[in-house]
Each structure stands twice: as C-alpha cells, then as structure tokens.
Structure 1
Amino acid sequence: MHQEATLIATVAVSFVFAAVLGYVADRLRLPPLVGYLMAGILMGPFTPGFIADTGLASQLAEMGVILLMFGVGLHFSAGDLLAVKGIAIPGAVLQIVIATLLGVALCSFWGWGLGAGIVFGLSLSVASTVVLLKALEERNLVNSASGRVAIGWLIVEDLAMVLALVLLPALAELLGGHASDALAHGGGLPLPLTIGLTLLKVGAFAVMAVVLGPKVVPWLLTLVARTGSRELFTLAVLAIALGIAFGSAAIFGVSFALGAFFAGVVMSESNLSHRAAADSLPLQNAFSVLFFVSVGMLFNPAVLVKEPMAVFCALLLIIVGKAIISFGVVLLLRYPVGMGLTVAGGLAQIGEFSFILAGLGVSLGLMPQEGQDLILAAAILSITLNPLVCFAAEVAHKKVHKKWPHLYDGYGRKRLDMLGRELEKNRLLSEEREREHQLEMQKLVETFPLFAEVDEHSQEELLLLFRPKSALPGERVVRKGDRGDGMYFISSGAVEVRVNGGPVALEAGSFFGEMALLSGGRRTADVIAIDFCQFLVLERRDFNMFSARHPALRAAVSEMARERTEMNVMRAKRAKQAEQHEPSTES
C-alpha cells in the first residue's frame, strides 16, 4: 500500500471493523467498546490478516482522549472541581500510594526489582478517563455528586502521573535502570531542582488557565461567532481545544488530556459553551472509538497463554484491590457508602496513562517487556469487564440499602449534604447564567418582533453582532448628512426623528437608520434622544453579512423602510400644503 494512503487505510479499516464488531457486541448484550477492542486485536500485528499502522492509530486515539477531556471540561466548571477537592485529592493520593505498594510487592514476588515494581504499581493505580466517562454516561451519573467526585479523583490521578513521568527519568539510575538520552548527555538537572521545576510548570499552567483563560477564550469565541460562519466556529473550538492541549504539553510538560480538560473548563465560562459542546461531540465520539481500537492493536494474546497467573494477579489487583482501596478511602473520609461503590466501580480499570508509563519504564530499563505485555493484557481485560464491575456495584447499592438502610442513609450524610450544596450552588449559577442568556434572546424577540423570523441560533448571532450604546436626553444620536454606518434598535427610552414633515417620536421596540444603511447614502434626518436611551446598534458590515443569510429579514426591513419613506413624503407634502393655505399675517 502506498505510504500516503496509510492514514486513510488505518482510519477507514478501524471504523469499519469497529462498526461491525461494535454492533455484534451490542447484539450479544455486551458494551460496544468490547467490539472496538476486538477490532483492534484483529487489526494488530499479533493476529493474521490486515495490519494497521499502530503508531498512527495511537496518535489518532490521543486526539480522541483530548476531545473527550475537552468535552468533560465543558460540563465541569472550576467550582465543581474545587468543591470535590476535599475527597478527590486525599482519595486519589492514598489510592495511588497503596496500589503502587501492592504492585511493588507483587513484582518482588516475581523477582523483579524495585524500579519495575514502582512502574508496574503506578501503571495499575491510574484509571482510564475514556472508560470512566463511558461508564458514568451509560448510568447517567456524570452530573451526580458521585460522578463529579470520580471525575475529580481521576483529574488528581492524572496530575500525579504527570509528576511521575517527569521524575522517573531522573530517578531511573537509582531504581536500577539507565538514564534517559537527555540525562545521559548532560541535559539533566539535580532531583530537587527537577521536582521544583515540574511543580512550577504545573502551577504556572494552572494560573494561566484560571486567570487568563476566562478572559481570552470567551472573547475569541465571541469574535469568531460574530462572523456567522458555523464551520469557522467549529474550527475555532477545535483549534482552542487542540492548541491548548498541545501548548500545555510542549511548554508546561502536562499531558494533552489535562490541557484539553482545562481548555474545556475555561470555555465553559462562555455563553457559547453549549454550541461548542454540540459542535465537538461528533468528533469526540469518532475519535474515542479509535482510542479503544488502538488499545486492542497493542495487545498480544500470547501473554494469556504464557503468563496466565501473572495476568490474573494483575487483573485481581486492578479490579478487586483498587475497588477495595477506593471504597475504603471514601468511607475513611466519612462519605456515603453509595458514593464509595460508584467510585470503586468506575475506577476499577486502567487505561491511557498506564500504557505511557509502561512504555517509559521499558525504555528506561526499569521494567522488562513482559511487564508491558502484562499491563496491556490487564488493561484490555479490566476495560472489558468494567461494565460488569459497575453492574455489580449497582447490585451492591441495592443490597446494602435493603439490608442496612440506616447505615446506607445515615453514614456520611452530613458530608454529602455539604458537597451537594456546593455542587448545587455551582449548578444554579450555571443555570442562572444560561437563563439570563435565554431571557436576553426572548426579550430581543419581544421588543423587536421583526427578529422572530429567524431561528434561535441566528438570534444568538444577533446578540453577538449588536453593539450597545446609550444616550442622554437632548443628545444628538444621528446627524443629518452623516454617512450611514449603522442601524439603531431602541431597547429602552424614546427619540425624536426630525424630518421635513415635522418631528416623529419613536419608542422602545422601534428602529431607525435603516434607510441610509440600505442605500449606502447619507443620513436624511437628525435623531435626538428625548429620554434616557439604550440602543442596540447593528453596523452596516454586520447587517449586510447577516441579512445575506436571511433574505426574508432584509426584505422585511426594506419593506418597512419603503413604507416609512412614503409616510415621510406624504407628511412633507401635507406640511407644505398647510403652509400654502395658512393665512398671511403681514399687514
């Protein structure tokens, strides 16, 4: 196959295999992602038939993780992240420490060194973002308190893995491996300085995301949305998501996924966040499929025959060990049993960070290739079994509630109520912001019925195109003879239009300036504010651009302008006739 067709072949065959096997899995009452994993195994280098480019597939899958995390960030406000910090931070840290120690113990039983144990334990301690979100979405728990805690927990795990990826090369020689190429050539720094620099980079990224992001990103979105081009808006959304993800990794050393998550959190502060989420959703779904397919490509089924007990032990640590650890930590922090079961079920699997850590461990000589194969096997099996684990957690929910109702309803209720209030406050603030936006559009249509002819998206564009302006009583808003550069819509107050036939009063809901705007000529009358006025001004360029997409609106404005012109002409004629018939006052 020609080299230039490799990308097309990889994507095309991945989608075809995933669609067919995903449908088969669904008919067998299995999650579709099991079919996606099987598609990857069939396309991988360890099975006969078509062999896809695993390198390309992995990069495409990384884009899926980026877009998925971006979507999570769009629906996960900074307030929500801070609200769950009391359980997410200590919970994630404790789980990582205990799971890593168990991994070290397991590796020492196999005769591996300390470095291999640390890499193996860390790889098994961090869950997959994609799998967790799929599990929460299927159970409609993304917006619940337990779902928010699980997502926050995973974000803390990702931050910890970022630190681990930076520190492992610096500690490789101490742990029995060899230094990375950068360190071997003298590019390394002392360990304390490396840690400090890493924390400084992550802190700088967080500050920029929290401080600068809400000011810059919504402004950019509004700027692009004002063009009225939907494809340009979608492109801008993807550019911001992928640009921040890549920039955060290149400049600050954080993961692509984490950078994309913060990009979504920042964009969620904009009134256009719902449009951004809708536009990016199809790409999120498509590329998340490629993630599961690429994981399947890395799997060598032979490890199940060569090391069945090792795979079983690793799988036991992931599903049983991590579930018990996370459940125990939630209870230790005095949160409800139900939350502990949800978190335990959702995090009882491993994913993308595990593959990265395993690859780094092998490249540094810390862990044998066999360890990477075990991690991949355990990852695929844990991902496949995760729906069953989540189902078991739901069954345990019901049984505990039925057998010990006082324990289920009483334990951790105080902390859950506090967390619920925080999340509810954030939700109400978000809804209030959305409600204000909807009321603004509703008021626009009620005040100016002319705009009822365009759809909701177009009304939203109008709100972005309008320039607010105010005037004091007696202030000249428009001067006769000036070039018509905008059309004025009166949202409150009243003005007086001084035409030849006499002054005409216009109140809220009226507009003026359309004649010069349509003709491109000079203003034909003075307009004076006779009250405190608030205007929405539509500039000529924006009006032409918008009306080109909505000819019915332009026709309506033109018709009103024609009628107004005829009325002004008639008024002028009547005034002239009245002057001619007026009796002379001269002696």
Structure 2
Amino acid sequence: MFGLLEDLIVVFGLGVAMVILFHRLNLPSVLGFLVTGVITGPFGLKLVDDVHAIEMLAEIGLVLLLFEAGIEFSVKTFLRMRRFLLIAGSLQLLLTIAVAAAVAHFAGLAFKPAIFIGMLTSLSSTALVIRLLEYRGEIDSIHGRAALGILIFQDLCIVPLVLITPYLGEAGAKGDILDIFLLTGKALLFVVVAGVVARFAIPWFLGHVARLKKREAFVLSIMLLCLGTAYATSHFGLSMALGAFIAGLVISDSKYSHQALAEVLPIREVLNCLVFVSIGMLFDVRVVIEHPVLVLVLVAALVTVKTLTGFVAVKLSGHSWKVALVTSLTIAQASEFAFVISKLGYSAGILDHRVNQLFLATAILSMFFTPAFMGMAKGFERLLGSIMPESWSRSSHSHEAAENMSEHVVVVGYGDVGKSVASALAARGQAYVVVDFDPVVVRAERGKGTPIIFGDAGRPEVLKHAGTESARMVVITLSDSTAALKGTELARRLNASVPILSRARRANLGVELKAHGANLVIADDFESGAGLTEGALKELNVPEDEALALLSELRSRAP
C-alpha cells in the first residue's frame, strides 16, 4: 500500500512540475504527463515500482474521460451524425489498414505482420484528442465533432481487430473465422440492448437517488453507472471506455447531466493524468537513440498515411476539404488501444521484439507531436486555400444562392446561439438566411425548411452567395475565434455599411472583432458575468434604477 502511495506522490509531484513548465512554454499539459511517464517509467529513471497499479488507475481515468465525452456529445448529436460516422469511420479504418499494410509490406515485412501493422495504425487516440480539443476550445467545432465520430467508430471496431489478431499469428488460431463475426455481432447487439435499457433504467434510477437529496448517494450512483456499464461491456469483448461512453450518452439527455458532469470532473482530472503517464512509461528512449533516423521516418510515415486516409474519408463523407484537413491532422496519431493490441500481436508471434519496440516508439512520438500538427492545421489551411479552386471548398450539400434577396439578415453559424437568433427573427417575420459549415446540420435543417446554405464564411463567394452585399444585418455566431474574425472582416469588406454583430467566446477578443469591422460584440464570458450581476442585485433588493446604472457602467467597460 505504501509502495503505491509513494509511487503516486512521485508521479503527481513530477506531474505538477511538468504542467507548470509546459504551461510557461504555452504547451498542453498532456505533453507534460507523457514526459512524466518517460522519466518515472522502467525505461527512464525507474522512480515508480508498481507500474501495473498505475496502469490500472489509468484505465479508470480513461473510462471517466469517455464517460464525460458521452455526456457532452448527447444522443441527438450521435444520431444526427450516424451517416457520417458509418461512412467516414469505415472509410478511414479500411483505407488506413490497406495503405499502411502496403507501405509496411513494401518496406520488407511479411504479409500478415504488414496487415497487423495496418490494424495498429488505423486506430487513433481518443483520450489524447478529447483532451487537446478541450484545451483548444474546439470540442464543439465541426472538425471536433467529426474527429470524435471517427474515434467512436474506431472504438467499436476494437473487438473485431482483437479477434482477428490470433489468426495472423505464426500458428494461426483454433476455430472458425465465423467465430469473429458471431462474437462481433454479440458485442454490437449488447451495445444496442444496453443503450435501449439504459435509456429508460438510468433516468429512473437517478430520479429515485436525486429525491434523497444526498450528494454522497448521487456521486456514488454516477460512479456505479459509469464503472458498471464499462465493466459489463468488457465482458462482451468491447473496451471499457466504449461502455462508459454509452453510459454518458444516455445520461446526456436527462436533467441530471450537468450535475453528473460536475461530480465526475474532479475525479477524472486526477486519474486522467495517469492515462498519459502510463503511456509515457512504455517509451523506451534506447530505441530512439539506436535508430533515430528510422524512428523519425516511421513517425512521418504514420502521420502522413493517417492524414491522407483521414482526409479522403472525411471529404468523401460530404465535408469540405478544410474540415477534412483539420480533422485528419487531429486524428493523425496512434491509439492507446493500439498498445494493448500490439502486446497481443507480440505474444502471438506476429511481431518480433525489434519491430514491436519500433512501433511503440513511433506510436508514442506520434502522440507527442499531435499538438504541433493540430497547431499547424490552420497554416496548412491558409496555404492550400490560396491555391485551391473555390469549388473544392464546397461539399455535396451546397444549395441555391441567396444573392437576389435584400433587406434580409445573414446568420453565420447554426449552433445553439445561431438557432436562438434565427428563431427570434422568424418570430418577427424577418427574412434571413443561415450559413453553416457542417453538412450534417445543413442536410437536417434543409429538410425542416430552414433557409440555410452550406459554406465557409471565410470565403467571399460563400458570403456573396448568402446575399451579404444587400443584407440588412450580419450576425456572426461562431464559437471559433479565427473563423469569427475572418467572417467579420470579409462581411465588412463586402458591405461597408451593413451592421455586423459578432459573438466572442472571450471578452478580450472583442477589440479584435471591432477592429475587423464589427459594430457590436457580445462576449460569452462578459454577458454571463453581467447576467449573474443583474440576478445578484435583484436578490439583494437593490433599487431598479441603481441596478440599471451599475449594469450600464459594467457594460461600458466591455472591450
């Protein structure tokens, strides 16, 4: 017991130091956790004795991470993306396996080991991508949702990949290949049945617990549902993380979702750092020292293959090349689950020790470089945008133009904020047209009769398409700061006199938006503060005229 306690003190102590260091370097804390694992692990300074115990705690952290992702994703979002999930997910997985296997076979591996390397390469890191998207504030962006959809599909495919592995071994596997399909079918059937049962049972159960008004009972119930569902799915060959995601998905549409999320977050933050520490512990620095050029070439090959196959998959599913590019770079790394499958492959004799160690080093370095690749995505986007024709920026969901409209309002973005604006305009009988960059949203809203067109508001042709030059007003509701700045600047360039209202996620972005042409900026954090201040003054029975004066003074300080 004291041995584990000492190990945790070492890990958390060094982890804090690394987080502070990487924060000052303006780098994600995830990288600090990976470095902590490298230093404390068996291939580093060997500061941790019980590595297995750390790995067990890390697995619980991964379960909680996927549980939180399920709560934030919601069933409605999942169902709306089902077509994209199946098309893009299956294309990305199969293309990556095929291309990576071909490259590995060309490099000298035999056919079966090459196929196995393709399987390992096809998976991306759910844990890492979610943390980085949260860090960058892009979890609700179009490419964020697209990446998460592909990652969930990959998690569903872990079962058949694990079952196929023994058949690629030297001695093969006993039994019929039909067993793979039967076991996979049972696992998927369990997912469906569990989802349906949980949809009715979990809200009922949480309702009874909530009536007790005991926080301890609610916290324990949430942990029971999360870990219990994860444990159940593991017995059907699925990953525990996928089971946790399903549980979170079910809770997401209940009235208990926000409280459940608030209770899980503190525990998740503590255990989740161990996920990346345990991954870092697998990294053998000696492999890089002995084969530095080879390892870097392998990392470049892995990232290139995954970027190209991901790009093709997302583009063919209906998204623009810009979304396809950013999404593909986001998932261009190996997965934490690949380490588990590689261990099975090594035991089955598919990979020898040298190839297995080279893969582990390549996989971990690809994860380490992911923040840099995600940061470079916008630069690649601007570079390619300057040379690619506009037709490539459209998806298969573009619709008729709105250039002939006049005195209408152009609403850019159709998330929750955009929907609120459009709903108010419709209630007043004001003509409007929506511009959105998500083909899934566009397809669904067109079916409802919403006047919406697909396009990137950062392209002049798209805003012209929406009739910006003759619009009465332009409302930018995008949460992406870069996209909001580009859309605001372009709208002002197309129409020098039109009033432009822009949304800002943070108050300090307001100055930039006004410099780019916005007449009015509404900052999410500032308006939240103003709303809370108004409520507090009302509860304190402050006279209305005094309260209005205080609020007026507060809003005058807005950027």
TM-score by length of 2: 0.69
Q: Does 1:305 align with 2:283?
A: no
Q: Does 1:351 align with 2:356?
A: no
Q: CA deviation at 1:422?
A: 6.6
Query: 1:219 and 1:94, CA in 2 relative to 1: closer, same or farther beyond 3 A?
Result: same
Q: CA deviation at 1:177?
A: 4.3
For each residue in 1:175-216, what CA deviation from the matched residue of structure 2 results, as whole angstroms up to 9, or x when unmatched? Answer: 53454xxx5xxxxx4221x12322332232122233111110
State the match for 2:198 in structure 1. Answer: 213
Greater Cα shift, 288-297 or 40-49: 40-49
What is the DSSP-based 3-state SS (H/G/I as helix, E as strand, rest coil) of the residue aligned with 2:281?
A: helix
Query: 1:107 and 1:342, CA in 2 relative to 1: closer, same or farther beyond 3 A?
Result: closer
State the match for 2:232 in structure 1. Answer: 247
For each residue in 1:199-253, what CA deviation from the matched residue of structure 2 results, as whole angstroms up to 9, or x when unmatched? Answer: 3322321222331111101111111111111122111101100110011111x21
What is the DSSP-based 3-state SS (H/G/I as helix, E as strand, rest coil) of the residue aligned with 2:73?
A: coil
For each residue in 1:61-93, what CA deviation from the matched residue of structure 2 results, as whole angstroms up to 9, or x when unmatched? Answer: 111111000001001122322322323222222
For the pair shown, the structure with the greater C-alpha radius of gyration is 1
- Is the contact between residue 142 and residue 438 of structure 2 (CA under 8 Å) also seen in structure 1? no
Query: 1:79 and 1:367, CA in 2 relative to 1: closer, same or farther beyond 3 A?
Result: same
What is the DSSP-based 3-state SS (H/G/I as helix, E as strand, rest coil) of the residue aligned with 1:338?
A: helix
For each residue in 1:468-496, what CA deviation from the matched residue of structure 2 results, as whole angstroms up to 9, or x when unmatched? Answer: xxxxxxxxxxxxxxxxxxxxxxxxxxxxx
- Is the contact between residue 18 and residue 35 of structure 1 (CA under 8 Å) also seen in structure 2? yes
State the match for 1:230 in structure 2. Answer: 215
Query: 1:403 and 1:200, CA in 2 relative to 1: closer, same or farther beyond 3 A?
Result: closer
State the match for 1:31 in structure 2. Answer: 28
Task: Report the Cα distance in structure 2 between the residues aligned to 1:414 and 1:56, rounded to whole angstroms.
Answer: 53
- Is the contact between residue 30 and residue 276 of structure 2 (CA under 8 Å) also seen in structure 1? yes
State the match for 1:134 in structure 2. Answer: 131
State the match for 1:266 in structure 2. Answer: 250
Q: CA deviation at 1:274?
A: 0.6
Greater Cα shift, 395-404 or 264-273: 395-404
Task: Report the Cα distance in structure 2 between the residues aligned to 1:400 and 1:324, rounded to whole angstroms.
Answer: 15
- Is the contact between residue 6 and residue 53 of structure 1 (CA under 8 Å) also seen in structure 2? yes
The residue correspondences of 1:492-531 to structure 2 (distance < 5 A) are none
Task: Report the Cα distance in structure 1 between the residues aligned to 2:244 and 2:443, rounded to whole angstroms.
Answer: 25
Task: Report the Cα distance in structure 2 between the residues aligned to 1:242 and 1:157, rounded to whole angstroms.
Answer: 21
Q: Quick one: which amino acid aligns to residue 84 of structure 2?
A: I
What is the DSSP-based 3-state SS (H/G/I as helix, E as strand, rest coil) of the residue aligned with 1:365?
A: coil
Q: Does 1:123 align with 2:120?
A: yes
For each residue in 1:475-533, what CA deviation from the matched residue of structure 2 results, as whole angstroms up to 9, or x when unmatched? Answer: xxxxxxxxxxxxxxxxxxxxxxxxxxxxxxxxxxxxxxxxxxxxxxxxxxxxxxxxxxx
State the match for 2:176 in structure 1. Answer: 190
Greater Cα shift, 394-403 or 259-268: 394-403
Task: Report the Cα distance in structure 2 between the residues aligned to 1:8 and 1:178, rounded to whole angstroms.
Answer: 43
State the match for 2:90 in structure 1. Answer: 93
The residue correspondences of 1:287-298 to structure 2 (distance < 5 A) are 287-298=271-282
- Is the contact between residue 124 and residue 335 of structure 2 (CA under 8 Å) also seen in structure 1? yes
Q: CA deviation at 1:355?
A: 0.4
State the match for 1:176 in structure 2. Answer: 170
- Is the contact between residue 319 and residue 439 of structure 2 (CA under 8 Å) also seen in structure 1? no
Q: Quick one: which amino acid aligns to residue 209 of structure 1?
A: A
State the match for 2:348 in structure 1. Answer: 364
Task: Report the Cα distance in structure 2 between the residues aligned to 1:19 and 1:374, rounded to whole angstroms.
Answer: 30
**Of residues 147, 158, 178 in structure 2, which corresponds to 1:150?**
147
Query: 1:95 and 1:29, CA in 2 relative to 1: closer, same or farther beyond 3 A?
Result: same
Greater Cα shift, 50-59 or 63-72: 50-59
Task: Report the Cα distance in structure 2 between the residues aligned to 1:424 and 1:258, rounded to whole angstroms.
Answer: 30
Task: Report the Cα distance in structure 1 between the residues aligned to 2:102 and 2:438, rounded to whole angstroms.
Answer: 39
- Is the contact between residue 57 and residue 290 of structure 1 (CA under 8 Å) also seen in structure 2? yes
Percent sequence identity is: 31
- Is the contact between residue 88 and residue 150 of structure 1 (CA under 8 Å) also seen in structure 2? no
Q: CA deviation at 1:349?
A: 0.9
Greater Cα shift, 381-390 or 133-142: 133-142
What is the DSSP-based 3-state SS (H/G/I as helix, E as strand, rest coil) of the residue aligned with 2:350?
A: coil
Q: Quick one: which amino acid aligns to residue 68 of structure 1?
A: L
The residue correspondences of 1:330-409 to structure 2 (distance < 5 A) are 330-401=314-385, 404=388, 406-407=390-391, 409=393
Q: Does 1:10 align with 2:7?
A: yes
- Is the contact between residue 84 and residue 419 of structure 1 (CA under 8 Å) also seen in structure 2? yes
- Is the contact between residue 33 and residue 277 of structure 2 (CA under 8 Å) also seen in structure 1? yes
Task: Report the Cα distance in structure 2 between the residues aligned to 1:52 and 1:317, rounded to whole angstroms.
Answer: 35
Task: Report the Cα distance in structure 1 between the residues aligned to 2:194 and 2:152, rounded to whole angstroms.
Answer: 15
For each residue in 1:271-291, what CA deviation from the matched residue of structure 2 results, as whole angstroms up to 9, or x when unmatched? Answer: 101100111011222222101
Task: Report the Cα distance in structure 2 between the residues aligned to 1:314 and 1:82, rounded to whole angstroms.
Answer: 37
Task: Report the Cα distance in structure 1 between the residues aligned to 2:16 and 2:291, rounded to whole angstroms.
Answer: 31
- Is the contact between residue 322 and residue 347 of structure 1 (CA under 8 Å) also seen in structure 2? yes
Q: Does 1:104 align with 2:97?
A: no
Q: CA deviation at 1:139?
A: 2.7
Query: 1:422 and 1:284, CA in 2 relative to 1: closer, same or farther beyond 3 A?
Result: farther
- Is the contact between residue 397 and residue 443 of structure 2 (CA under 8 Å) also seen in structure 1? no
The residue correspondences of 1:433-444 to structure 2 (distance < 5 A) are none
Task: Report the Cα distance in structure 1 between the residues aligned to 2:221 and 2:93, rounded to whole angstroms.
Answer: 37
Q: CA deviation at 1:99?
A: 2.2
Query: 1:395 and 1:360, CA in 2 relative to 1: closer, same or farther beyond 3 A?
Result: same
- Is the contact between residue 83 and residue 422 of structure 1 (CA under 8 Å) also seen in structure 2? no
Task: Report the Cα distance in structure 2 between the residues aligned to 1:117 and 1:233, rounded to whole angstroms.
Answer: 49
Query: 1:294 and 1:406, CA in 2 relative to 1: closer, same or farther beyond 3 A?
Result: same
Q: Quick one: which amino acid aligns to residue 197 of structure 1?
A: L
Q: CA deviation at 1:52?
A: 3.4
Q: Does 1:78 align with 2:75?
A: yes
